[in-house]
Structure 1
Amino acid sequence: MTQKKWYKIVTQPFLTLKNKTFSKLYFAQLSSLFGDAFTWLGIALLAYEIKPENAAAILASALTLRVTAYIIFSPFAGILSDRLDRKKILLVSQIARMVTVCVLPFVYQEWQLYALIFILNIFAAFFTPTYRAIIPQIVDKKVYREANGLSMATFQLLSVFGPALAGIVAVWLGARQIFFINSISLVMAIILIASTPKIALQVNSPVGFKTKSKTWLQIAEGVKLLFSNKIVRFALTMEFVSAIAGAMVLVNTVSYVKTTLQLDDKHYGWVMATFGIGAAITAFLLGSLDKTKTRSISLISGVLLIGVAICFANFVNVNGLLVLWVVAGMGQTLADLPSETLIGENIESEHQGKVYGSHFAFSHLWWAIAYPVAGYLGTQFPDKNFLYGGLITLILAGILIIKFKIISKKMK
């Protein structure tokens, strides 16, 4: 590949920022995600402050509440994004998150922390599907994949470097004060959204759009559309397989690094950083590299990469793990990212809101299933947990790939 072509691939995602509406929404998302890193680090410190001996259980419960809020409320968010003023949904959800974050520094009891985390993620469940439903409507179809890749790469990079920066700031400001950093970032996001013309966010979803169908019927229709499209269904099921492998990485890496390899927190941080960096680089380049209609090359290679990578993790030292986790991060993105772009390309515009809401719910349901599986393998088979998790991933992937090919042949 020539240097000129590589330059085009690398710079093309940034060209999407020439679209003023997308640019404002992208930087609003960037500001919001930046603040979220501070909030979750603050929650971890707050959990330890409230009950040091039970901090891990509190954090596990917090993550469960987060996923639960997404699963319950994101389908409703998808329906509302097709019915109501999308700008109002984005503004109200961000304002509510800002208020909730500002209350967190004054929490001193466990139940208060749980309640605020649940509320915080209810509004996150409304913001994200609405944001995702807007992007394919405002970005030219030729660069939609690049725009989506830029958003996902930003998310991955902030998930790696955001907590590190938050940790430095926490030393300076203190555990409770860092929540106000997120509130400031949310204010910046609110300003960007407020400055965006309402009509620009309402493309293909006119304000005041009404439907005679009840909300639960609309949710059912969103689920039906999500699973009835063969291409989108395959991508979603591959997401489930990659979630099992991804959960193995997130749940069991810390024990392997600190217990098996007898290393410290610094090494654990570096290992997880390589996972995030691999995911971010792949997200950034994927839209420009894979132009196929079904994205099956990305989906299949992604699941195989992360499955093979974790299979060998029990048998390497920290240097080997660094390499494997870069590959695993690449595989995670290759398997997860196509679903959103495929919805934008294969679902009719008037139905995309409800379908994005359903996808957001199911993609988090996959992780809610995968986390206990990873926890069980980690506790029952500590010496070969990654090997067994990788084999499960590869076996499931093989079954789905064979099934997908059979269905494809029948449809020809």
Structure 2
Amino acid sequence: MLAVLANRTYRHLFAAQVIALLGTGLLTVALGLLAFELAGESAGAVLGTALAIKMIAYVGVAPIASAFAERMPRRAMLVALDLVRAGVALFLPFVTEVWQIYVLIFVLQAASAAFTPTFQATIPDVLPDEKDYTRALSLSRLAYDLESLVSPMLAAALLTVISYHNLFAGTVVGFLVSAALVVSVVLPSPKPSVPRGIYDRTTRGIRIYLATPRLRGLLAINMAVAAAGALVIVNTVVYVQAAFGLDQSDTALALAVFGGGSMLVALVLPRLLDSIPDRTAMLAGASVLAVATLIAAAIPSYGWLLPLWFIIGAGYSMAQTPSGRLLRRSSHAEDRPALFAAQFALSHACWLITYPLAGWAGAAFGLSANSVTLAVIAGSAVAAAAWLWPAGDPEIVEHSHEGLPAGHPHWNEGIADGRNRHAHAYVIDDLHSAWPHAR
């Protein structure tokens, strides 16, 4: 897996990702402490609102940002967004009112909503070989999981010698180093083939996404992932400390076990995907999530929760990690930022539904009813994914073009059969506005 780090451009981008993630992790810890200082016992409500603002920014800003990204070189855009995030983190220690947290968090997350899809869309252009790209996806998954483990430990160690306000400085440094690493390499910036209006550019990614059967299946899988993930992220503390009467260290261990399951699958997944289709792996992972979420309704003790959380982590990684391969396969290079932005927005829209549901249903009806509710959502999503994403999903599709002149150069692409039809790698674009029906 680490062989892809021999590519200098990818190595610098991966380092930028890891360092920015660590900075974000420190920010999360510091923000919680700041909220407690400003709001006391209402800190949970403040953080909950901040989390909702984050999701709204992700859902609303990503497609718009991708439309403007076409007008800028990718490297310049990524560096500018890192600098914006560093600037926001620089202001956070001076916040004195709760509303100021909300404003700064929106700006920070809006910048992240523009940064992440653009960054993700750059990697397949840097690593055009599918095996290398698959390994890069697994490394990215590992980076996210390690951040969730390392950042709290690093923050705890730093808080023994500095105040939490100084954690914001660590975040600033993280974003600045990330920007410097991006500056140190030359990034491809495919240009759109034709000029497009702002509406076309804003909606293009979502239109491509919803017109592609495998991506409609991916959207359903996103919902299964969000349902199971919300159970773990929102309710682990409730299970461990309220239901089982344990302490914060036990909560941290449970979350670490969840991350450990995810990391283990991320390590073995590249080799696994060499021998099984993406659809098989992702549906299997999503099915594991649905079943495990249902089992969570009857957890008798902490000793049972830990292996179940490990299994959920494994299913989480298997269902989610290959998604980048589907997005790459379903778009031209110039459309990838828009398509990755659509995935970013639509997947976070799923979280925007399941996060509050996991919290409200758990508080109102109890953990068992909450788990059953989320399991029903996950199970329904798996069934929808299996239906929306055909089992036979070839990359090369035979199709016709009604009204396309015989002399059009597009007829020279792929293999023609002499019956006004030809076959090539099929993606939704200006010449292919809908998916052809199976013959």
TM-score, scaled relative to structure 1: 0.91
Greater shift in the superposed pair: 228-237 or 114-123:
228-237
Match of 2:32 in 1: 44
Answer yes or no: is the 8 Å Cα contact 1:251–1:375 preserved in 2.
yes
Greater shift in the superposed pair: 178-187 or 321-330:
178-187
Answer yes or no: is the 8 Å Cα contact 1:79–1:357 preserved in 2.
no
Match of 2:188 in 1: 202
Match of 1:8 in 2: none
Q: Which one of the candidate residues 331, 352, 357 is aligned to 1:368?
A: 352
The amino acid of 2:346's aligned partner reads: F
In structure 2, do the counterparts of structure 1 residues 402 and 352 end up closer, same or farther at CA, with 3 Å as the change threshold? Answer: closer
Are 2:43 and 1:55 aligned?
Answer: yes
The amino acid of 1:230's aligned partner reads: P
Are 2:325 and 1:341 aligned?
Answer: yes
Match of 2:4 in 1: 16
Are 2:116 and 1:131 aligned?
Answer: no
Q: Secondary structure at the match of 1:29?
A: helix
Q: Which one of the candidate residues 243, 248, 251 is aligned to 1:265?
A: 248
Match of 1:256 in 2: 239
RMSD between aligned alpha carbons? 2.0
Q: Which one of the candidate residues 246, 255, 268 is aligned to 1:285?
A: 268
| 1: CA distance, partners of 2:19 / 2:85 | 13
| 2: CA distance, partners of 1:173 / 1:294 | 49
The amino acid of 2:140's aligned partner reads: S
Are 2:411 and 1:411 aligned?
Answer: no
* Superposition pairs of residues 101-180 of structure 1, within 5 angstroms: 101-141=89-129, 142-180=131-169
Greater shift in the superposed pair: 219-228 or 78-87:
78-87
Answer yes or no: is the 8 Å Cα contact 2:205–2:342 preserved in 1.
yes
| 2: CA distance, partners of 1:245 / 1:380 | 19
Answer yes or no: is the 8 Å Cα contact 1:245–1:393 preserved in 2.
yes
Are 2:374 and 1:389 aligned?
Answer: yes
* Superposition pairs of residues 61-80 of structure 1, within 5 angstroms: 61-80=49-68
Match of 1:237 in 2: 220
Match of 1:188 in 2: 177
Match of 1:307 in 2: 290
In structure 2, do the counterparts of structure 1 residues 293 and 361 end up closer, same or farther at CA, with 3 Å as the change threshold? Answer: farther
Q: CA deviation at 1:356?
A: 0.8
In structure 2, do the counterparts of structure 1 residues 292 and 212 end up closer, same or farther at CA, with 3 Å as the change threshold? Answer: farther
Q: CA deviation at 1:294?
A: 5.1
In structure 2, do the counterparts of structure 1 residues 86 and 406 end up closer, same or farther at CA, with 3 Å as the change threshold? Answer: closer
The amino acid of 2:315's aligned partner reads: G
In structure 2, do the counterparts of structure 1 residues 358 and 396 end up closer, same or farther at CA, with 3 Å as the change threshold? Answer: closer
Q: CA deviation at 1:152?
A: 1.6
The amino acid of 1:398's aligned partner reads: A
The amino acid of 2:188's aligned partner reads: Q
Higher alpha-carbon Rg: 2
Answer yes or no: is the 8 Å Cα contact 2:289–2:312 preserved in 1.
yes
| 2: CA distance, partners of 1:350 / 1:144 | 18
Q: Which one of the candidate residues 297, 305, 313 is aligned to 1:321?
A: 305
Cα offsets for 1:106-144 (capped at 9, x unmatched): 111101111111111111111111101100001032311
Q: CA deviation at 1:407?
A: 8.7
Q: Which one of the candidate residues 270, 278, 286 is aligned to 1:295?
A: 278
| 1: CA distance, partners of 2:335 / 2:277 | 20
Identical aligned residues as a percent:
28
Match of 2:78 in 1: 90
In structure 2, do the counterparts of structure 1 residues 171 and 109 end up closer, same or farther at CA, with 3 Å as the change threshold? Answer: farther
Gaps of at least 5 residues in structure 2 are: 395-436
Q: Secondary structure at the match of 1:285?
A: helix
Q: Secondary structure at the match of 1:213?
A: coil
| 2: CA distance, partners of 1:338 / 1:411 | 25
Q: CA deviation at 1:373?
A: 2.1
Match of 2:398 in 1: none
Answer yes or no: is the 8 Å Cα contact 1:294–1:342 preserved in 2.
no
| 1: CA distance, partners of 2:83 / 2:24 | 14
| 1: CA distance, partners of 2:367 / 2:314 | 25
| 2: CA distance, partners of 1:382 / 1:75 | 37
Gaps of at least 5 residues in structure 1 are: 1-12
Match of 1:3 in 2: none
1 or 2, which has the higher helix percentage? 1
Q: CA deviation at 1:291?
A: 3.0
| 2: CA distance, partners of 1:400 / 1:345 | 18
In structure 2, do the counterparts of structure 1 residues 352 and 293 end up closer, same or farther at CA, with 3 Å as the change threshold? Answer: farther
Q: What is the number of equivalent residue pairs in this alignment? A: 394
Q: CA deviation at 1:210?
A: 7.5
Match of 1:213 in 2: 196
Q: CA deviation at 1:292?
A: 6.2
| Structure 1 runs (4+) greater than 4 angstroms displaced | 405-410
| 1: CA distance, partners of 2:385 / 2:137 | 25
Q: Which one of the candidate residues 358, 366, 383 is aligned to 1:398?
A: 383
- Which has the bigger relative contact order, CA under 8 A and spacing at least 6? 1
| 1: CA distance, partners of 2:203 / 2:367 | 43
Q: Secondary structure at the match of 2:165?
A: coil
Q: CA deviation at 1:326?
A: 0.6
The amino acid of 1:145's aligned partner reads: T
Q: Secondary structure at the match of 2:70?
A: helix
Greater shift in the superposed pair: 361-370 or 211-220:
211-220
